[in-house]
Structure 1
């Protein structure tokens, strides 16, 4: 055991020991994903029920089509596309950014798009750039950790309202909102519970109180809406959401994230968003792969419909989504459940604090259109049998 200069145990070793005692110690496991399967370092092969590849787009046929398209345009392997070694504001703003942002903006007519490195950079960068001292941000209790970190970095006062409780939100607006610039932040599909925000009710409150809405559509983009533009588009309220953030690394099976907003707000972000200003640009090849998929997104309706059918095999709730929490409550129980599912051939992940609140550990099941109905029916049988 490492000792500190006073002869006591090293604080980092103590931290790791405590995490292990609480069944909360994480390790990095080497895995390899191939379509709907995942292989671990021991050679085990499992159906992957932990992927965010909701539309099943990480398949070889699409990748072959992508490279064939590039070759047909004379773009690959004819030029350097593997890296973009500077920030966008220096030398990294390659033409592929404009191409991708244009394809994304077509999904939200009249809006503009700003592509950034990843969802974490978006959620930690946007609100600090747009808010300041004296402003108020009211966020849903179950906001993603990246958004909470963004609130901590902002100069605004912030507090949380009870999950999806618009009555509690309205009471906070009345109590604290007079004479202030206010943002309300939420997710359309919550990443660990899989439930959906009451967007129509939030828009009604916006009209009444005049706040701005920040909506994280990370787990809805690609999956919901007639063209895959997300829940706000599906419910016809996208034009009343001031900032939409989504990722390209989940249903789009690529990398990066983007912000949908008005032209003025985009200009402010380019000048004040530190996570954009001080981050290396994405490689052109990644941007082109994202654009290849975004242009095809409206045509993936059959995949979205298949995914909805798979969801219906695990839930009879018409509002259910592709994220299904299997509650364990205790950390040890969640680890045990995940291990038992793997014994049956299904890769699932135990989710523990701080990803979820203490006492709400679970196994998070996420469905993909790459799965068959038979795959999901077999999982449902195992889930029922394991109790």
Structure 2
């Protein structure tokens, strides 16, 4: 371990934990305040002290349950967990099953659904939690080139008659490149080859769609997605993950998904908070529009840089790890907290500064960011 840690440090790949205190749109580290550009609190909900007060004031004493006491299949299936699932399911017009995190959902859904007669085709850049889930599957799985529907179709043509079921797995908004999947093209292929579509909306929920339900809502395709995975821990500023699917699949996952079965349930009070903020999120159209505006402004400030994506996640690709670390230090010196993203989170030769914008950023902070980027 010692030798490998030294090698990581030598190559600029070592990671460490930094104690911090997140406050509104800023982060306090080592007694210094920075504008936070590394947050996935996309709507700024975690800093809404007025909503926190409203939530806490509305809790009955007996509802303030801090621990679940056991797994949901034993005594941990609180009424507020079921109420949360019912509420979220109604928004999507399907059934909902809540997991302890989005990671738990991605780890447990596909291994429960697939067998050796099935094939999974996953986008090359799907999240590590999906890859970990695929490694637990008993089926064959392959990865197609990122957002390359032509490559995907070639694989579908080659394999669709050889397997009982094919699952196509992708994110709607990719966390490291900040780009969207071509959902319309994917649905045309789905209609042609009859595969099952697994769509991870973790970074789109709250941000995309008229009610913030994600890209599938925006494209009018909620009924066409077989398995829609979401998170409560990013734009919704809570904890947990969920899957939207049909009733039979929900019942199957309750019986077969190991990351759901073999874990203590999340705290009931967290489920109450999740439902509270989910209701608020549905109406946050102004915040979504504001986030879109500042995203457009921010991207316009980097015209000659190697910037990719099209969302509030704005990756600036750097030449090497040392350049990435140096630029991150420069921005921090200017009062901006940004984190360098390096291998294995991204490809080895594509280290990047990943700017992540939130609706909590104020105009005067955006001006300071603009000045720092021009320096």
Q: Shorter-chain-normalised TM-score: which range?
A: over 0.9
Equivalent residue runs for 1:363-374 within 5 Å: 363-374=353-364
1:342 aligns with 2:332: yes
Q: How far is 1:79 from its partner? A: 4.9
Aligned residue in 2 for 1:51: 39
Q: TM-score, normalised by structure 1?
A: 0.92
Q: What is the DSSP-based 3-state SS (H/G/I as helix, E as strand, rest coil) of the residue aligned with 2:74?
A: helix
1:227 aligns with 2:211: yes
Equivalent residue runs for 1:210-221 within 5 Å: 210-221=194-205
Aligned residue in 2 for 1:171: 154
Q: Which runs of 5+ in 1 are unaligned?
A: 1-11
1:19 aligns with 2:3: no
Distance, in Å, in 1 between the alignment partners of 2:21 and 2:226 is 39
Q: Is 1:327–1:360's contact at 8 Å kept on the other side of the alignment?
A: yes
- Which string of whole-angstrom CA distances, capped at 9 and with x for unpartnered residues, describes residues 4-26 of structure 1? xxxxxxxx101101111110011
1:324 aligns with 2:314: yes
Q: What is the DSSP-based 3-state SS (H/G/I as helix, E as strand, rest coil) of the residue aligned with 2:17?
A: coil
Distance, in Å, in 1 between the alignment partners of 2:180 and 2:366 is 22
1:361 aligns with 2:355: no
Q: Is 2:63–2:269's contact at 8 Å kept on the other side of the alignment?
A: no
Aligned residue in 2 for 1:89: 73
Equivalent residue runs for 1:75-154 within 5 Å: 75-76=60-61, 78-109=62-93, 111-154=94-137
Q: What is the DSSP-based 3-state SS (H/G/I as helix, E as strand, rest coil) of the residue aligned with 1:264?
A: helix
1:207 aligns with 2:195: no
1:33 aligns with 2:17: no
Q: Is 1:186–1:214's contact at 8 Å kept on the other side of the alignment?
A: yes
Q: TM-score, normalised by structure 2?
A: 0.95
Distance, in Å, in 1 between the alignment partners of 2:313 and 2:351 is 15
1:157 aligns with 2:140: yes
Question: Which 4+ residue blocks in structure 1 deviate beyond 6 angstroms?
Answer: none
Distance, in Å, in 2 between the alignment partners of 1:148 and 1:315 is 30
Q: What is the DSSP-based 3-state SS (H/G/I as helix, E as strand, rest coil) of the residue aligned with 1:183?
A: strand
Q: How far is 1:378 from its partner? A: 2.8
Q: What is the DSSP-based 3-state SS (H/G/I as helix, E as strand, rest coil) of the residue aligned with 1:114?
A: strand
Distance, in Å, in 1 between the alignment partners of 2:264 and 2:123 is 31
Number of equivalent positions: 366
Aligned residue in 1 for 2:304: none
- Which string of whole-angstrom CA distances, capped at 9 and with x for unpartnered residues, describes residues 85-114 of structure 1? 2111111000011111122112112x0000
Q: How far is 1:80 from its partner? A: 5.0
Distance, in Å, in 2 between the alignment partners of 1:381 and 1:46 is 15
Q: Which runs of 5+ in 2 are unaligned?
A: 301-306
